[in-house]
Amino acid sequence: MTETTNDPSLIERVAGLFHRPGRSILNFFEHLGRYMSIIGWMLYNFRNAKEYSGNIMQQMVMIGNNSIPIVLFVSMFVGMVTSVQSSYQLYDWIPRSVVGALVTKSVLLELTPLLTALVLAGKVGATITAELGTMRVTEQIDALEALAFDPVSFLITPRVLAGILMFPILVIFGDLVAILGGMFGASVIAGIPVEAFVDGMQSSFETWDAFFGIIKATVFGFIITSVSCYQGFQVQGGSEGVGKATMNSVVVTCLSVVVMDFVLASVLL
Amino acid sequence: MIQLTNIWKRFGEKQVHQGVNLEVRDHETLVILGRSGGGKSVLLKMIIGLLKPDSGSIVVDGKEVTTLTYKQLQRLRFKFGFLFQGAALFDSMTVGQNIELALRRHSDFKDADIEERVQYALELVKLKNVEQLMPSNISGGMKKRVGLARAIALTPKYMLYDEPTTGLDVETADGINLLINELKTTLGVTSIVVTHDIHSAFVIGDRFAIFENGQFIMTGTKDDIRNSPNPEVRKYIESEIET
């Protein structure tokens, strides 16, 4: 007796196993290629940037000025919690001044640049993607092209430039406030005298640490603004497409920032 | 003159154009009629190089659009004004800034001249004192008029209209039709109008092209269309009678 069955063969099942990951990999490289193509076009036409200086200023206000309150708020609490937790963890083991050194090093090298980037990936990145995505679905980007404008130079270059310029400035402000927050947390909550905190801070401070944080902020600023612009440009469909692209933008920028954080630390430290 | 020859275009699985041929003569208003979502607007976007056909030729004033460099394409676009379906006004700019944007970028006009041109464009579309308003604060009909003013600000040779009366009430739609006719007389532009509104089409069109299943099934004058025995064409005539 022969048995008939509709079950897929072993080869089909094995092929099926590779189908989804294969498509995801292809999809990833397709997006990477398109992203690189837009970045390449932006760099190739960089000389046009001066013609859109008004747009650059407008974006610097949006990305920089409008983000100051949230960056300062987050930095203040990051500084406070770092000092309180390090005091708690190391209280019996180390001199009190070490808390000042620890807070300063952590804040300058890692915490402020990374957390500022993650917060701004949500705030700035989502805004850029939603804005450009809406322009895409309402044909405003097509209208720009129809009016003989280069949409990359007009829309993307000013945002990326503003990101590169403003992220480091935000991080410098964030560093200052985080250290003040750390000092406040150390003295008020952990009972460490301000003098001891300042001693530790001064003895451990190295200009390179602050400079490294600024390099990171510049790279993060580029990643967040360029990826968000790309996601906005690629929107298809209506409001659903805009929502999906905005979510993708936040996820991709956060992941990229975390990965690049590790790469920069490995290469530069 | 604009000439489209054997245009093929596919989006994913959907073959949108299957060997489209079309000729647009100077100073005429050609109306492309067809179902929504059939690929009529894509034709307009291909004419100004916003989209590329998979194969075929698009010639504008003797230049093959599909092989132009980016710079050449930008220069060609100066010849065109494009009224988008939803007007596509830049919502972060005022009405005045929308109209003057291309003038500031592509002309050597001084501020006073630009202001004068903006006023002239607004006069042509019968709008007054709206320069400072934001697009979100004006009606759908006004948006179309502002879109039209923006399109004509650089005095184009060709006007492309994508569903100019869709979503408008009858009275406002009639106003837009009247404007399209007036712009033709005042500026002497050659126009291509994409619409599924047969009533508007017969008010503004000199010639008509019926687009069905990725091809033009008929091209001709109002009388040619009205007297056509083709059942696909008759559907449009019957819909006109019903309205």
pLDDT digits (tens, 9 = 90+) for A62-72: 999 999 999 99
**Chain B residues with beta carbon closer than 8 angstroms to that of A142:** 45, 50, 84, 88
Optimal mutation site among A145, A147, A159, interface B, most CBs of chain B within 10 A: A147
Distance, in Å, from the CA atom of A88 to the CA atom of A82, rounded to the nearest integer, reads 10
Give Cβ neighbours of residue A186 (< 8 Å, ≥ 6 apart): A83, A84, A87, A99, A100, A103, A192, A194, A197
Q: Letter for the amino acid at A184?
A: F
Distance of alpha carbon B177 from its chain centroid, rounded?
12
What tokens were used for B34? Answer: 């067809």
Is the residue at A237 inside a domain? yes
Is the residue at A188 inside a domain? yes
> Who among B50, B90, B105 is closest to A146 (CB)?
B50
Contact B84 A139 (CB under 8 A): yes
Q: Listing from the earlier edge strand, what are the strands of the sheet with B63-64?
A: B14-24, B2-11, B55-60, B63-64
Question: In order of start, what are the domains of chain B with their CATH numbers?
Answer: 2-79+156-242 (3.40.50.300), 87-155 (no CATH)
Give Cβ neighbours of residue B112 (< 8 Å, ≥ 6 apart): none
Distance of alpha carbon A124 from its chain centroid, rounded?
9
A 148-167: CB under 8 A from B = 148-150
* Domain of A256, in residue numbers: 53-264
Is the residue at A38 inside a domain? no
Tell me the pTM. Answer: 0.87
CB of A250 within 8 A of CB of A223? no
Pick the range with the lowest mean pLDDT from A6-15, A24-33, A221-230: A6-15
Q: What CA–CA distances, in Å, run from A117 to A6, A77, A114, A258, B120?
A: 53, 15, 5, 9, 48
From A192, A200, A187, A185, select the one nearest A97 (Cα to Cα).
A200
Is it the case that residue A5 has pLDDT exceeding 60? no
Is the residue at A186 inside a domain? yes
B 128-157: CB under 8 A from A = 150, 154
pLDDT digits (tens, 9 = 90+) for B102-148: 999 888 889 999 999 999 999 888 888 899 999 999 998 899 999 99
Three-state SS at B64 = strand
Q: Which residues of chain B register pLDDT less than 70?
A: 239-243
Give Cβ neighbours of residue A263 (< 8 Å, ≥ 6 apart): none
Is the residue at A44 inside a domain? no
Distance, in Å, from the CA atom of A223 to the CA atom of A210, rounded to the nearest integer, reads 20
The residue of chain A nearest to residue B99, with distances taken between CA atoms, is: A147
Contact B77 A138 (CB under 8 A): no
Whether A45 contacts chain B with CB within 8 A: no
Distance from CA of B167 to the nearest CA of A (A): 15
What tokens were used for A75? Answer: 């930095």
pLDDT digits (tens, 9 = 90+) for A224-234: 999 999 999 99
Whether B199 contacts chain A with CB within 8 A: no
Distance from CA of A70 to the nearest CA of B (A): 24
Whether A267 contacts chain B with CB within 8 A: no
End-to-end CA distance of chain B: 33
Which position has the token pair 């700035």? A124
Contact B50 A145 (CB under 8 A): yes
In this structure, the number of other CB atoms found within 10 A of the CB of residue A20 comes to: 9
Whether A138 contacts chain B with CB within 8 A: yes
Is it the case that residue A93 has pLDDT exceeding 80? no
Is the residue at A12 inside a domain? no
Residue-level pLDDT at A1? 47
Whether B105 contacts chain A with CB within 8 A: yes
Contact A148 B102 (CB under 8 A): yes
Average pLDDT, chain B: 90
pLDDT digits (tens, 9 = 90+) for A197-217: 999 999 988 999 999 999 999
pLDDT, mean of residues A96-120:
92
Is the residue at A175 inside a domain? yes
pLDDT digits (tens, 9 = 90+) for A41-67: 999 988 877 777 888 999 999 999 999
> Who among B45, B91, B102 is closest to A147 (CB)?
B102
Split into its structural domains, chain A has a count of: 1
Is it the case that residue A6 has pLDDT exceeding 80? no
Whether A143 contacts chain B with CB within 8 A: yes
Helix ranges (DSSP H) in chain B: 40-47, 70-77, 95-106, 111-124, 140-152, 170-187, 198-204, 222-226, 231-242
Contact A147 B101 (CB under 8 A): yes
Is the residue at A135 inside a domain? yes
From B28, B20, B4, select the one nearest B208 (Cα to Cα).
B28
Distance from CA of A225 to the nearest CA of B (A): 19
**Chain B residues with beta carbon closer than 8 angstroms to that of A138:** 86, 88, 91
pLDDT, mean of residues A104-118:
94
